[in-house]
């Protein structure tokens, strides 16, 4: 009966899940330490700033790729597209 259970297939293999679980626990502990009333405004400000910076970086990257594709479509002959 064990051969047909998830235990036999390695679904619960702790060598695979342990790093993920440890990472989740560490993040939860850090979140519990940081999100306190005196750090709440600083935490929200840092998260918003990180979101704005990441969004700006992704926007610049997307714009650069779009412009490169547009330029290539204008200068490359039809046989190379």
Q: Mean pLDDT over all residues of the chain?
A: 76
pLDDT tens by residue, 1-10: 444 555 555 5
In this structure, the number of other CB atoms found within 10 A of the CB of residue 43 comes to 13
Whether residue 49 is predicted with pLDDT greater than 80 in this model: the reply is yes
d(Cα 59, Cα 56) in Å, to the nearest integer? 5
Lowest mean pLDDT among 10-14, 26-30, 37-41, 56-60: 10-14
Share of the chain above pLDDT 70, in %: 74
Q: Is the pTM of this model over 0.85?
A: no
Which residue from 33, 57, 35 is spatially nearest to 46, judged by alpha carbons? Answer: 35
């Amino acid at each position: 009966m064990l051969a047909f259970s998830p235990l036999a297939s390695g679904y619960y293999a702790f060598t695979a899940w342990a790093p993920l679980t440890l990472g989740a626990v560490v993040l939860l502990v850090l979140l519990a330490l940081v999100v306190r009333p005196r750090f709440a405004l600083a935490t929200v400000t840092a998260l918003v700033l990180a979101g704005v910076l990441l969004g700006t970086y992704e926007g610049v990257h997307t714009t650069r790729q779009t412009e490169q594709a547009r330029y290539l479509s204008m200068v490359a002959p039809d046989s190379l597209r």
